[in-house]
Amino acid sequence: MPGGRWLRASLRRQLLVLLLPALAAMMAIDTWLTYHALREAANAAYDRSLFGSVRAIDNAIGMAGESIQLTLPDAAMEMFETAAQTRVFYRIALERGGSVETVTGYEDLPLPTGGAAGLTSNAPRYYDASYRGEAVRIAALARPVYRPDAQMRVIIQVAESAEPRAALVAAVWRNTLARDALLIVASAAILVGGISLVLAPLARVRDEVEARPADDLTPLDTATVPAEVRPLVDAVNRHVGRSAAMAAAQEQFIADAAHQLRTPLAIVKTQAEFAGRQLEGERNLPAAREALHAAVAQLEQASRLTSQLLMLARVRQQGGKPAKGWQGQEEPGDAANAAEGAAALPLVDAAALARQVALDYLPLARARQQDFGWAEGEEGGQGGQEGQEGQAPPLWVRADPALLREAYANLVHNAIQYCPRGGHITLWAAREDGQACLVVEDNGPGIPAEERDQVFARFYRRVGTEQPGSGLGLAISREMAARSGGSVTLGDARRQSPPHEGQHGPGLRAALRLPLARV
């Protein structure tokens, strides 16, 4: 609705619409209570004047035999004529034998409801009535005649018109109403001014954001922002941080791809040109064949490198910040962010996924004449029977299946690539310390302890390594594991492999650990 959009478009309007009616209702209640309090106060003041008149008449009444004598002083008579500049009526009557006879005054002045029976001498009775076409307030008192065998009472009534007291109440009430209306207007002005003052820090934040260049993604300063708005600014900062991380990841991906693909493509071009020259006139077919094989190898390496770069870009885009080891630093709160992101991932059986990776890489290991197999148990048992699929219980984790498979496959591929022919490679999955642990262990040359942290840096290549590679596999595995709240660690090989010709070094144990999920 247009009205709803107009209202929601402004916080100031919403507060005014919510608070002003409530304030007006409170003022109306206060005015109503004030009006009734004024009526009671005015009646009390004017009734005291009536009571004085009744007492003055009572004190001036005397009895002479069976008749009443009234000796009203001149001051009382003046009071009747000028009291409050209003009309005053009085009546003195004698009640005898159930009948009331007027002695003096206005004979038709009305008695209270119920007649004279409800009047006493202890206190006058006040009541409202209509007399001669106007509203009057009457005070009445009945005093017994103190003489032997007398069954008479003197009834005294004094009335005055109600117009003066009503005019007084109306005048004071109008002043009160004007005061309350002025308070509402002042409150609205104060409310608008207060809202503008409170929202001033937000206006400064807006001006700061508008003044920034397009590539400035630094967090907003929350020092001058009210505490109630700080969570909103913090959420904006987190969103800006994620956007900055994605932008940095895209920039890094472009730089990595340009840097890493340029060299193999140049080599392929050179080798293809060399093969073309050798094929001219069929002068040197062996050299041409060797150049083509080298070009194919370079294309395979470039293809794997492209796949790794694309997978790394996907991890960075989904995970936001790079994991520790990618740049060698870990931002505060990265672990909490990873755990929060992992909670939204699907359930995956890590053991079944690892067994499938073992089956997929079995042909590659056989081509290199390596003893490659899957083992079951907490530490995997002994030996490796090629391609055997175990019956271990599932290890449920929360992870992206494609990313988890790639992370573990990189560890397996590295073991196959760096372990010499005839080497021994064992894979297994186990539950360790409340985590799912996917292990790849070989008896190859291994990695010295002092270099195990460095090999997780991107494009890091150990000195003297002759095997082709990009130096991205371990970095990608660790980052993918961190995306699911896990980690990748390197250590010495623990199992003793059967002695054979493939024993070429101390070996290496690579373990990918992920928190077990509650199923």
pLDDT in tens, the chain (519 residues): 555 666 556 777 777 788 878 888 888 888 888 888 888 888 888 888 888 888 888 887 776 666 666 666 655 555 555 444 578 888 888 888 778 888 888 888 988 888 888 788 778 888 889 898 888 889 998 888 776 556 788 888 888 888 888 888 888 888 888 888 888 888 888 888 887 887 777 778 778 888 878 777 788 777 777 777 788 888 888 888 887 777 776 776 666 666 556 656 666 667 676 666 666 655 666 766 666 666 666 666 666 566 666 665 665 555 544 444 333 334 434 444 555 555 668 899 999 999 999 998 898 889 889 999 998 654 444 334 444 444 568 999 998 888 888 889 889 988 898 888 888 999 999 998 889 999 999 988 888 888 888 777 765 555 445 555 555 668 778 888 887 888 999 988 876 444 444 445 678 999 999 999 887
* Residues with Cβ within 8 Å of residue 231, at least 6 apart in sequence: none
Return d(Cα 341, Cα 403) in angstroms, integer: 14
Q: Tokens 């009057």 map to which residue?
A: 136
pTM, two decimals, is 0.45
Residue type, position 379, single letter: E
- Reference 125, options 140, 112, 110; nearest CA is 140
DSSP conformational letter for 84? G
Return d(Cα 140, Cα 43) in angstroms, integer: 15
Return d(Cα 359, Cα 354) in angstroms, integer: 9
DSSP conformational letter for 188? H
- Reference 318, options 329, 310, 330; nearest CA is 310
Return d(Cα 123, Cα 114) in angstroms, integer: 17
Return d(Cα 423, Cα 442) in angstroms, integer: 7
The first and second tokens of residue 341, run together, are: 């992101």
What are the CA-CA distances from residue 469 to residues 239, 300, 301, 417, 459 (Å)? 36, 11, 7, 9, 9
Q: Radius of gyration over alpha carbons of the chain, in Å?
A: 52
Return d(Cα 88, Cα 134) in angstroms, integer: 12
Alpha helices in 60-154 (DSSP H): 74-82
Q: Tokens 């009443």 map to which residue?
A: 68
Grouping H, G, I as helix, E, B as strand and the rest as coil, residue 225 is: coil
H/E segment holding residue 190: helix 163-198
- Phi, psi at 233, each rounded to 5°: -65, -40
What are the CA-CA distances from residue 414 to residues 140, 411, 429, 510 (Å)? 115, 5, 18, 10
- Reference 54, options 116, 6, 125; nearest CA is 125
Burial-class residue 30 by CB neighbours within 10 Å (0-12, 13-18, 19+).
middle
Beta-bridge partner residues of 260: none
* Residues with Cβ within 8 Å of residue 221, at least 6 apart in sequence: 208
